[in-house]
Amino acid sequence: MNHYEFVKVELKDRVAIIEFNYIKKLNALSECFIQDILKALADLNVPEVRCVILRAPKGSKVFSSGHDISELPKAKRDPLPLSYQDPLRILTRTIQRYPKPVISMIEGSVWGGAFELIMSTDIVISSDKSTFAMTPVNLGVPYNVVGIHNLIRDAGLHVMKEVIFTATPITAEQALKIGILNHSVPDDELEAKTLAIARLICEKAPLAIEVIKEEMRVLCEANAINPDEFERIQGLRRYVYDSLDYSEGLTAFFEKRKPNFIGK
């Protein structure tokens, strides 16, 4: 369990803990980092493991800084990132279809694509000091349909519109109130609370949990979308990727300045 570069894996009885180890990039969801998480999840898909916890190192100020901006496409390209084969898409699908419950144990701030990542897990427990921000509009990025669905499925629509449209971080207290979190606890209680819930899950019937989790996933995704509307949305996304605003968003990010969006 020690043959990973960007994560560390620990087993505590029947609970597996995947600890992020990509500190130099604030656990940004780079392809190399995601590949290690996926490999760890595959290795842990054994009967001896009943529950998996995702966490950052103890004392982290940032749980994950979100999608690696350097891996976004340059302008004048079709929107490949955040599409079906993007590493983040593969990771969220893997977690949602994973046969064992996956718990997000949040210490530090959560940004952008990492917000969607935790919303794709089964249970979310955070420090009461954590914050959460969904930030694609800061960069001019037209987030994809599946990602938006993952974000709005479990929380109030009007509240999530404000979270996404303003990109303003919300507190753990706010996240708990709108249904993003299961629990928010002091830092010194976070690990014990998370392990207690994981160990309780481990005592239950694993085959029943696996089937019920899959039933919930199928029911939550039972939303038809008109093919014409889907193609129209994809066309709108391509238009945004070709826009001056998208180029400005990326340029401003790398120049560490506030972008000047003009709506073109």
113 is catalytic: yes
Overall domain count for the chain: 1
Which residues face 64 on adjacent strands?
110
| Greatest extent of the chain over all pairs of C-alpha atoms, in Å | 56
Q: What is the DSSP string of 90-142?
A: HHHHHHHH-SS-EEEEE-SEEETHHHHHHHTSSEEEEETT-EEE--GGGTT--
* pTM of full prediction above 0.85: yes
For 3, the domain range is: 1-187+205-264
Please check whether residue 104 lies inside any domain of the structure: yes
239 is catalytic: no
Q: What whole-number distance in Å separates Cα of residue 150 and Cα of residue 236?
A: 20
Report residue 53's pLDDT band, with 50, 70 and 90 as the boundaries: very high
Q: Is the pLDDT of residue 56 over 50?
A: yes
Comparing 57-61, 72-76, 134-138, 160-164, which segment has the lowest mean pLDDT? 72-76
Q: What is the dihedral of CA 54, 120, 92, 203, to 10 degrees?
A: 50
Q: Which two tokens stand for residue 177?
A: 């109130």
**pLDDT confidence of residue 81:** 46
Q: What whole-number distance in Å separates Cα of residue 158 and Cα of residue 148?
A: 13
**Does 45 or 246 have the greater pLDDT score?**
45
User: What average pLDDT does this structure show over 149-176?
Assistant: 90
Q: What is the dihedral of CA 257, 165, 218, 199, to 10 degrees?
A: 70
Q: Which two tokens stand for residue 147?
A: 């990602």
Report the CATH number that the domain containing residue 167 is assigned in CATH: 3.90.226.10
2-36 pLDDT tens trace: 689 999 999 999 999 999 999 999 999 999 999 99
Comparing 36-45, 106-115, 135-144, which segment has the lowest mean pLDDT? 135-144
State residue 13 phi and psi, 5-degree precision: 60, -120
Q: Is the pLDDT of residue 80 over 70?
A: no
**pLDDT confidence of residue 1:** 58
**182, amino acid identity:** N
**Does 77 or 63 have the greater pLDDT score?**
63
235 is catalytic: no
Q: Based on the number of CB atoms within 10 Å of its own CB, is 200 exposed (0-12), middle (13-18) or buried (19 or more)?
A: exposed
Q: What is the DSSP string of 234-252?
A: HHHHHHHHTSHHHHHHHHH
Which residues face 53 on adjacent strands?
17, 103
Residue of 67, 98, 147, 241 with catalytic role: 67
Q: What whole-number distance in Å separates Cα of residue 48 and Cα of residue 60?
A: 29
**Does 87 or 153 have the greater pLDDT score?**
87
Please check whether residue 75 lies inside any domain of the structure: yes
Q: What whole-number distance in Å separates Cα of residue 104 and Cα of residue 88?
A: 16
**Does 53 or 253 have the greater pLDDT score?**
53
Please check whether residue 215 lies inside any domain of the structure: yes
Please check whether residue 67 lies inside any domain of the structure: yes
Residue of 98, 143, 241, 246 with catalytic role: 143
Q: Is the pLDDT of residue 112 over 60?
A: yes
171-216 pLDDT tens trace: 999 999 999 999 999 999 999 999 999 999 999 999 999 999 999 9
Please check whether residue 195 lies inside any domain of the structure: no
Please check whether residue 199 lies inside any domain of the structure: no
Please check whether residue 197 lies inside any domain of the structure: no
Q: What is the DSSP string of 30-49?
A: -HHHHHHHHHHHHHT-STT-
User: What average pLDDT does this structure show over 108-132?
Assistant: 96
Residue of 108, 113, 140, 147 with catalytic role: 113
Residue 140's nearest CA partner among 73, 86, 230 is 73
Please check whether residue 73 lies inside any domain of the structure: yes
